[in-house]
Amino acid sequence: MIKARTAKFQIGQIVRHRIYSFRGVVFDIDPVFNNTEEWWLSIPEEVRPHKDQPFYHLLAENSDSEYIAYVSEQNLVPDETGEPIRHSQVAEIFIRDKTGGYRQRNQSLN
């Protein structure tokens, strides 16, 4: 049995990947891994995350593109740049707040 842990990051928070060069805003959180086994096994074993931790859905971006990412908590750190996320879907879900983070437009979504 997998025991869920409390999420370190919250919806609307901007984070960046610890290893790879991308960042994003959290728009959903799974308390434990909730993707396909095929997806999990496609990650190289030496960097494959444990399943018993929160996984985050991000509106992500790198220098070349915007996309949706699914990332384990162990691979995320807070983004300290203060820069907004340029992902085209951010405005559909979030409003930028005074602190530089984001808050949901419709609080009843989650």
Read off the pLDDT of residues 45-81 as tens digits, 9 standing for 90 and up.
Answer: 988 999 999 999 999 999 999 999 999 999 999 999 9
Domain map (residue ranges) of the chain: 14-109
Q: Which residue has the tokens 């805003």?
A: 25
Biggest CA-to-CA distance, the chain: 41
Give bridge partners of residue 16 from the DSSP assignment.
23, 77
pLDDT attached to residue 52: 93
pTM beyond 0.85: the answer is yes
Is residue 65 helix, strand or coil? coil
Contact indicator for 17, 23 with CB cutoff of 8 Å: yes
